[in-house]
Amino acid sequence: MATDHSKQPESTAWVKAPDPKLYINPLPVRIWHWLHALGFVTLILTGIQIRYSAYINVLNFETAVRTHNWVAFAVIGNYFIWLFFYLFTDKITNYHPELNPKKFFEKAMAQMQYYGYGIFKGEHSPHKVVPHDKFNPMQSITYQIVMLFVVPIQFLTGIMMWDVKRFESWINAVGGLAVVDTVHVVIFIFFVSFVMIHAYMGALGARPSSHFKEMFTGYEEEH
């Protein structure tokens, strides 16, 4: 009996497999990220040189201060580029907070459990990365606090110390130069830790290099 080939399932050998990558970081975000990273690392290194000039002599004090100030203003300008980009594009959804406390708590706890032990057992992240919602709850709240509160405070304290005479009234209003300097140094220590943790978290992708590559290509590989 002849076989009716029209009823046979078509071979799928030639069908293109779905692209396992997501385009989540557009070019402006990638450029901003690397400029910001370079600026932050430079500020950290020159800050260490300024603070410990009696023990470290990679740059002389005047050069370290001048470099620190110029880079700081460049980072401030870059920050406002980031702010305007997210405020006036649809990418702002990545920073929308979860306003339902119950949902936020459940999602945050699931993510904490994943980071605490799930990732070491080969489990998948409970957060599904998509272009309009790329940050998990812990990342989202962390970036909101850092970018909207901690970074501006660091900028403000740095500007106060950049020109003490001009901002003398501001300095006195917050308790004096010692207070301003202490806040600036404490946040500096926080950012040193943040950069190291950020680098570690960057190695937790599908492969250790995945998240680093995505900030060059814009594509994130799915786990």
* Mean per-residue pLDDT over the chain, rounded: 86
What domains, with CATH codes, occur in the chain? 23-92+136-217 (1.20.950.20)
The reported pLDDT for the residue numbered 37 is 92
What is the per-residue pLDDT for 97?
78
Torsion angles phi and psi, residue 150, rounded to 5: -70, -50
- Rounded Cα distance between 157 and 139, Å, is 25
pLDDT in tens, 14-72: 444 445 577 888 898 999 999 999 999 999 999 999 999 888 888 899 999 999 999 99
**pLDDT over threshold 70, residue 1:** no
Mean pLDDT of 74-98: 89
- C-alpha–C-alpha distance, residues 203 and 209, integer Å: 6
Length of the chain measured in residues: 223
| 3-state SS assignment for residue 88 | coil
CA 51 to chain centre: 26
pLDDT attached to residue 123: 86
